[in-house]
Amino acid sequence: MSDVDIPPVPHYPFRAAFPPEPRDNMGRTIAYALDFLLDTLDCSPDEPSVPSNEADLRLLPTTDPSMQKDRYSVIIWNDDKHSFDEAIQLICETTSRDRKEAAALAYAIDEHGCEIIDMNTNIPCLLEIARAISKIELGVTIRRAYDTFREQVVVVVIKWLLDIARSRLGTDTLIIHEVIAAELLAPRHHESHTYDSASHIPDLSSEVPNPSRIDWMFLYHTRLWKKPRISLKEMYHDTSLLVLSHLQQARNSHFTAVYPRVVDAYLLVDRETKTSIKYSTLQLFTVPSIASHIARYHGLITRLLDIITNFFTNQIVDKRILNAPGNTTEAAELDVDSFPFKSKRFMPVFSDLRYLYHNEPVQQFIARNPFSIRKFVKVCQLFMYVHPNKGAATNHVEYVTDSWISIFNVTPIAHHQGIWRGPQLGHAFAARQRYLHHRRRYHLAMRVGK
């Protein structure tokens, strides 16, 4: 049961009597379900990959306490690159399934986000199947059947959570939401046999000193697949869970704390970007009161500008965008042939910046904060005169590189949508001018009064 105190909604006319004992039992049940979910996802991969050999396969993180079971599963993950015919043909060629069975699997992959195509104890055969699938860059994983089964149970748990979040106790539609919210905002409890070897569990201590379950849920969203992701987003938003007026700030603070990690996953590893939790920013950053709070008390403007700088200067290690010192912008250089410039996922990150800058309270905050303005201008300068054309006065040019395509994709977004064109820059400086004007008038009035 959670120790987090969730205050009841004041003046709610439909409040039902709920004795402490059944409420505590409900909280314990929800807490156990959430901890099971998180303990399972601790060992789930961030992105599809195939071990190079059997020894590496056996070293993968697992929730299996005995590790005596040698049954493994091959799973294909959904993507937008491959057609149904490609998937069906590949399943037929790599397994003993006929076309009808392969078609059923392909449609299940599209509907749910992933599906098991083979499961047995013949590890060399399963590795061969997985390698053949990965050759056409179709997402595939091979893992212990025990872990795969637990992940299937996780889907059932998420459906159950969504179901009870949509339930009510008599006339009271809020009390179950409040119990779920209390457990989400409480710290998690690890299973003893899975936590003994915790090297595979991300270290959140630098970003979130005391992470709660909701922090881990946001962080592990990438490890889920299409159907459970959609169900979780419905639980967070569509059913008003954690969007009760007195819980909004808590939800926003937790999401903002892990936002850099969420962006890392979105830009670098996410296989289902359409269902990414990153898109929650549209509901958060466009609300003036929320945007103002996270800009003032969580430093999100500076962190977002650092993410853009460090991403485009390719400061990426182990699928993480480095949190470099604040003065890196001065010496940062762009490599237009690097991965970040060729990626097309950066546009929503610029959109997040635009959402924040379009709020007048954020503009006022930036106007009163010279450091934010300098940081903002330096990021703008990063994209000025990128990869300029050079005239060949004496040599004949046989061809032109494809770098201009990457430049063409990035700079219009940076200039016209994300950073310096449009109302946000003008509003920020106009707000600063108004602030300085009123401050001068105030000091002048004070001198005249004396």
Of 137, 78, 76, which is closest to residue 113 (Cα–Cα)?
A: 78
Residue type, 283: Q
pLDDT in tens, 38-61: 999 999 999 999 999 999 999 999
Mean pLDDT along residues 358-363: 89
Q: Does residue 356 contact residue 300 with C-beta atoms inside 8 Å?
A: yes
Q: Which two tokens stand for residue 52?
A: 């190079």
Query: Hey, how many other C-beta atoms are within 10 angstroms of the C-beta on 337?
Result: 13
The predicted structure's pLDDT at residue 324: 61
Place of tokens 């003893």: 192
173-184 pLDDT per residue, tens: 888 888 898 899
| pLDDT tens for each residue of 218-251 | 999 999 999 999 999 988 875 554 556 566 777 7
Q: Say if residues 2 and 182 touch (Cβ distance below 8 Å).
A: yes
For the segment 125-162, what is each residue's pLDDT rounded down to a tens digit? 999 999 999 998 889 999 999 999 999 999 999 999 99
270-303 pLDDT per residue, tens: 988 899 999 988 888 988 988 998 988 888 988 9
Give the number of other CB atoms < 10 A from CB of residue 167. Answer: 11
One-letter identity of residue 399: Y
Determine contact, residues 423/358, Cβ cutoff 8 Å.
Answer: yes
Q: Which of the pair, 408 or 375, is modelled with greater confidence?
A: 375
Instruction: Round to whole Å and give the CA distance between 278 and 274.
Output: 9
